Amino acid sequence: MEIIKLEELEGKKNKRGVVAKAVLKNDNAQVMNLVLSPGDVVPPHQVPVDVFFYIVDGKGTLSIGDDSAVVEAGTVITCPTNTKMKLEADQGEKFEVLNVKTPSL
């Protein structure tokens, strides 16, 4: 058994300009903890695998395809393969999510 504490993982700015912490990566899944400060945006992009987001803390706007919603801690949002996604910390607070890709990239 491996116990992973998000607050103990080292984060660094990723290519999209937000703090990212590598949680898990194997052939079946890749999990990143994204920590957006107020005003941060992960611009629209798509990936060739299924994705889901689990909102860990705070709230912000998540856009999947043509749909957008303000989402908060405790929420899961799915994103099908090759569908545009965007995250925005636009609610005046930190927006922390787990980004889970299946299978791994």
CA nearest 45: which of 17, 100, 84? 84
pLDDT in tens, 22-64: 999 999 999 999 999 999 999 999 999 999 999 999 999 999 9
Average pLDDT in the 73-82 region? 98
The pTM (predicted TM-score) of the whole model is: 0.94
- Give me the CATH code for the 6-102 domain, please: 2.60.120.10
Q: What is the pLDDT at residue 79?
A: 98
| DSSP assignment of 72-97 | ETT-EEEE-TT--EEEE--SSS-EEE
pLDDT of residue 105: 87
Domain extents for the chain? 6-102
